[in-house]
Structure 1
Amino acid sequence: MSRFSERFLFSAAILVVGINLRPTMAAIGPMLDVIQRDTGLSDTGASLLTTLPVALMGICLLFTSRLKTLFGARNGIILGLALILIGNLLRWPWSSAALLLVTAILGGIGIAMVQALLPIVIRHRAGAAAAGLMGLYSTAIMAGAFLSGTFSPWIAQASDWQPALGIWAVPALLGCLIWWRVTDPRASVPEDRPHFPVSRAPRAWLLLAFFGLGTGAYTLVLAWLPPFYTGLGRSAETAGLMLGVVTLAEVLAGLVVSYWVSRSTDRRPAIFTAIGALFAGLLGLIFAPLALAWPSAVFAGLGIGALFPLSLIVAMDHGDNASAAGAIAGFVQGGGYLVAAALPLIAGLLREYLSDLTLAWGLMAGLCVVLWLIAIRLRPGQRITF
């Protein structure tokens, strides 16, 4: 196989694997009102369908090195995809609240394993070109959210919401098969372990906060934007389309970041632009949610879509080799997802007790200011040394 063909197939495998890392959560939002009606889930309980996977993603990601030692990078990714496959498949025949929460846990663990191990493989295989592939990877994640958030309500309309959730087992199966075929079982990633835990570096905590707050905007919108608009009288299909617009904007922003990232070592101009776009979208949701619905969705999507890959790329910029970058990315994502998991839960509580999500959008707008202050300190050339 030529070097070009090998690179192309590896990029295609990253794309297919990445697509599977959000449908477990993104497919739920547009159909949440119907799911709550059929299962009796409260708003707080419904928020756990997003909060639990995100929190478990964080917990598992904190043990990246142990996962790598226990399963190996290749087999660990396959096992993660298999858990996503099983979780989605179990949603097809059954419709109880308890089962939905169990499948959310299975999916969260599977997603976490993939997200812990895949950046290590990318950095090891791609070397200097890792930033571009990380952009492709994060764009694929957003593409999976776009496909599931947009098409699940239409599948549910043609059948029911259970098949609309279970159908996402199909791309998970495809991801397992392609990753198994493209990657070499004899290849291994070197064990160049850091001399002390990443958590001892103050800089790592700053990167964790930046990733967590930025990803919190994503989990908040993913979980509650469709129910916000169905509560304002929009249909589930329209609300799903709005989430689709958000995620399509995220994909476009991710592609732009993937194209631009290798042309500048200073990530801050792009980060400031992304935060500004997110802030504008949130202001639209707060002050004119119906009149500015579509522009708000686009701006929020552009901001979230750029922040996610940029926060990962900036974190990996702080490592001198593949294992160091993977350790940093694992710590940043692990703690960051625990931070991000809190926002959908807070929004669920606000909706349950105040019957309004406007305060949740206002909270996130305030956190954009915090993101801006952190971004000022993300100057190029800084490293976390072990």
Structure 2
Amino acid sequence: MTGSPTPGRPPGPGDAARTGWLLAALLLVALNLRAPITAVPPVVDELAAGLGLSAAGVGLLTSVPVLCFALCTPLASVLVARLGPEASVTAALGGILAGTVVRSGGSVPAALVGTALIGIAITIGNVAIPVVITRDFRRRAAAVTGAYSATMNLGSTFTTMLTVPLAVSFGWQWALAGWGVLAAGALAAWIPAGRTLAAREAGATAVRPPSTRQELAALDPPARHAARRLAVLLSVAFAGQATGYYAMTAWLPEILQDRLGMTDAAAGGAAAPFQLCAVAGSFLVPLAFARGLSARTTAMVMAAMWLSLPVGLLVAPGLWLLWVGLAGAAQGGNFTVIFTLVAQRSPVLAVARRSSAAIQTAGYACAALAPTWMGAVQAATGGWTVPLVLVTGVLTVMAVVMWVASRRPAAPPVGPARP
């Protein structure tokens, strides 16, 4: 098995090269799993003017991908089970490329259909990639999950920074469509890597791989109970993570304006470290694991850093840059902790796939509502104190649940991590 050789078989001379190629292809895929979404906000005014969209229409367009994450994850899980992770990733990249082109068609229906295609395709990738990491990089799950998370954030950073200059030179339609080159490049790398993986998996299995039902039936009751308990806990934790992330992403510039008197431009720029520091946080977690820190200790450090943002803005807003940087690193790091636990503690691939789907469904369903309820509470109370207290409460629940979920298991997972 690439990345984690089959037990009892010594690594072959080509394993390192195959692993490196697979990892490079995997990270190129990760570049596409947020970038097409974050390309829109920088040019949303030009897009709205060009399509004649109202504020409500713009809100719908920007919320469609997160709604797809919440609604389509169960179906994506079934698709990954039937097609396998290699073909599913290929389908995801093809959907992202097609959606990116259609979205720039110059009409409202094209924009909505293209955005929905992108959202559905990314949902498939969201489910398939953790399965690949669990199967092929289980022994290095923390490092590979961290690199995956960091690369997603890098893709977001690229499109956030460069879409406006491209729009100035070529117009918003070409600026958005041009990011399809990322999907095309990832397809060029992933298709041969995926074929090699599929052939290797078929060659390594002398009999037909067990079905999902057979895999789950082969687990003993304690293993099934432990897997189900972990999935529930991490679903709650990821719901807190996603709620905090999308709430603060939507409203952080306005909070800085209102509490510190910043201009629009200054507040928008001040919020940038929240996204950029996620790259550092994604690498801090595997580094902490490599230095011997337990999952529980690492999770608690990430939770404390996350909580520093709403608490800091309440009690010491003048230190906003410190709080924004700490929370930015924490939101990237906490994502890595959650999905590293999925990869390391899933006894079989079917559990990893189902757990990943359940966690993301819960998380993104809450995320889709977060900006709305936070804005509604601010409007009802006339300030940001109550909304920030509520975010603090959500993140506190996340911290408590992560404390329980990250406890060292009494015994290693039962069963192989592959079919």
TM over 0.5: yes
Q: Structure 1 CA distance, aligned partners of 2:306 and 2:338?
A: 14
Q: Cα deviations across residues 87-109 of structure 1 (Å, max 9, x unaligned)? A: 2222334253x443333211111
Shift of 1:36: 4.6
Local SS of the residue matching 1:21: coil
Residues 305, 115 of structure 1: alpha-carbon distance in 2 compared, 3 angstrom cutoff: same
Shift of 1:37: 5.3
2:23 is the counterpart of 1:17 = no
2:98 is the counterpart of 1:68 = no
The range that moved more, 25-34 or 139-148, is 25-34
Residues 124, 385 of structure 1: alpha-carbon distance in 2 compared, 3 angstrom cutoff: closer
1:194 to 208, 216, 225: 216
Aligned to 1:234: 264
Local SS of the residue matching 2:199: coil
Aligned to 1:318: 345
Aligned to 1:374: 401
Percent of residue pairs identical:
24
Q: Which amino acid counterpart does residue 255 of structure 1 have in structure 2?
A: F
Shift of 1:250: 0.2
Give yes or no for contact 1:278–1:299 (8 Å, CA) kept in 2.
Answer: yes
Q: Which amino acid counterpart does residue 55 of structure 1 have in structure 2?
A: L
Q: Which amino acid counterpart does residue 266 of structure 1 have in structure 2?
A: S
Aligned to 1:148: 159
The range that moved more, 342-351 or 176-185, is 342-351
Local SS of the residue matching 1:377: helix
Residues 198, 12 of structure 1: alpha-carbon distance in 2 compared, 3 angstrom cutoff: farther
Q: Cα deviations across residues 116-171 of structure 1 (Å, max 9, x unaligned)? A: 11111222122322332122111111111121222223333444433333222110
Q: Which amino acid counterpart does residue 233 of structure 1 have in structure 2?
A: T
The range that moved more, 27-36 or 141-150, is 27-36
RMSD: 3.4
Q: Which runs of 5+ in 1 are unaligned?
A: none
Q: Which amino acid counterpart does residue 380 of structure 1 have in structure 2?
A: R
Q: Which amino acid counterpart does residue 283 of structure 2 have in structure 1?
A: L
The range that moved more, 108-117 or 306-315, is 306-315
Of the two, which has the highest radius of gyration? 2
Q: Structure 2 CA distance, aligned partners of 1:202 and 1:365?
A: 25
Q: Cα deviations across residues 187-225 of structure 1 (Å, max 9, x unaligned)? A: 448545323999993442221010121022223344444
The range that moved more, 222-231 or 52-61, is 222-231
Query: How is 1:158-237 mapped onto 2 (pairs within 5 angstroms)?
Result: 158-183=169-194, 184=196, 185-188=198-201, 190=209, 191=211, 193-195=215-217, 201-225=228-252, 233-235=263-265
Shift of 1:281: 2.2
Give yes or no for contact 1:204–1:384 (8 Å, CA) kept in 2.
Answer: no
Query: How is 1:91-170 mapped onto 2 (pairs within 5 angstroms)?
Result: 91-94=103-106, 96=108, 98-170=109-181
Local SS of the residue matching 1:103: helix
Residues 269, 325 of structure 1: alpha-carbon distance in 2 compared, 3 angstrom cutoff: same
The range that moved more, 363-372 or 86-95, is 86-95
Tell me how many residue pairs correspond in the alignment.
382
Q: Which runs of 5+ in 2 are unaligned?
A: 1-12, 203-208
Q: Which amino acid counterpart does residue 281 of structure 1 have in structure 2?
A: L
The range that moved more, 141-150 or 52-61, is 52-61
Q: Cα deviations across residues 220-269 of structure 1 (Å, max 9, x unaligned)? A: 3444446767895333xx66654542222000110111222344473122
Q: Structure 2 CA distance, aligned partners of 1:295 and 1:153?
A: 28
Give yes or no for contact 2:104–2:110 (8 Å, CA) kept in 1.
Answer: no
Q: Which amino acid counterpart does residue 358 of structure 2 have in structure 1?
A: F
2:299 is the counterpart of 1:271 = yes
How high is the TM-score relative to the length of structure 1? 0.84
Q: Structure 1 CA distance, aligned partners of 2:78 and 2:226?
A: 16
